[in-house]
Structure 1
């Protein structure tokens, strides 16, 4: 099976966008007003203005109404770092987004492109970081679960 050449570009651009969003979330305290993306149930994304107060906000949480996104810790593996952000809505895990995955080698990109959606769905289904590893992506799976657990611990 041949993978289209543009697929790697989409993964790369998507990863950059996710890292940029995480950086914006982390450093939004520096801006007087920040635009925060809020996911709706149909998967569309809407922008909403939110004022951040450095005295009351933390550097790893973004809050929109009752939806909170927490950035988990970056976990190093032998192939590279893994980091996720976990979105909670009404106390439930509703989404997990990958911020960093190993991508220094073509095979790593393929493995992680296959494994990360599976891991995200398992976390949402289990409502915890206690998920099975994906065959062929053991290091990524273990680091993914550790990053999810750190986000859950930060959320409390």
Structure 2
């Protein structure tokens, strides 16, 4: 009788260990990317601590979405850290194209440090009907995490939000195409 109890406990413990390992493998890089933000005391909601320059945002001085003042699609920051003298990666925010879906438009903004995606924000999501708004509210945070984890537009479709997922993927891909 007691051997059966121990076997169940061992199976349960082994299952939890496996789930923890898989979760760490999948989401561990996200936690490492967020660690500098908490150490720097970032309160702006973006990872990295410094306020990024926004390219193509309302009120910005850029000519068109995705093109900086030099026409390259980026805006420069200080090339070296004044305290250490080491080169800093450029922090740039790019606004993607609007992807029209069956239920409404989807538009995404991505912040890069160098070539690494560090923040993804949804600017537009289907919301014309209460159900569309509810689906978008559930799906867009998942899609943003997927983009950060994949560091590309090759992301899984969120169940129940197929059109939103496709529009999200399309908008992110337009940003990556702008960046080259």
TM over 0.5: yes
Structure 1 residues 26-69: Cα deviation after superposition (integer angstroms, max 9, x where no partner): xxxxxxxxxxxxxx823412668999586834496565551111
Structure 1 match to 2:115: 91
Structure 2 match to 1:56: 69
Q: Give the CA deviation at 1:155.
A: 1.1
Structure 2 gap segments, 5+ residues each: 1-35, 45-49, 55-59, 79-89
2:37 is aligned, of 30, 34, 41, to 41
2:160 is aligned, of 136, 140, 146, to 136
The normalised TM-score by structure 2 is 0.57
2:151 is aligned, of 115, 127, 134, to 127
Q: Structure with the greater relative contact order (CA < 8 A, sep ≥ 6): 1 or 2?
A: 1
- More strand by percentage: 1
Structure 2 match to 1:151: 175
Q: RMSD of the alignment, in Å?
A: 3.0
Q: 1:58 to 1:114 in 2, by over 3 A?
A: farther
Structure 2 match to 1:109: 133
Measure, in 2, the Cα distance between the counterparts of 1:70 and 1:85.
Answer: 6
The normalised TM-score by structure 1 is 0.65
Q: 1:56 to 1:98 in 2, by over 3 A?
A: same
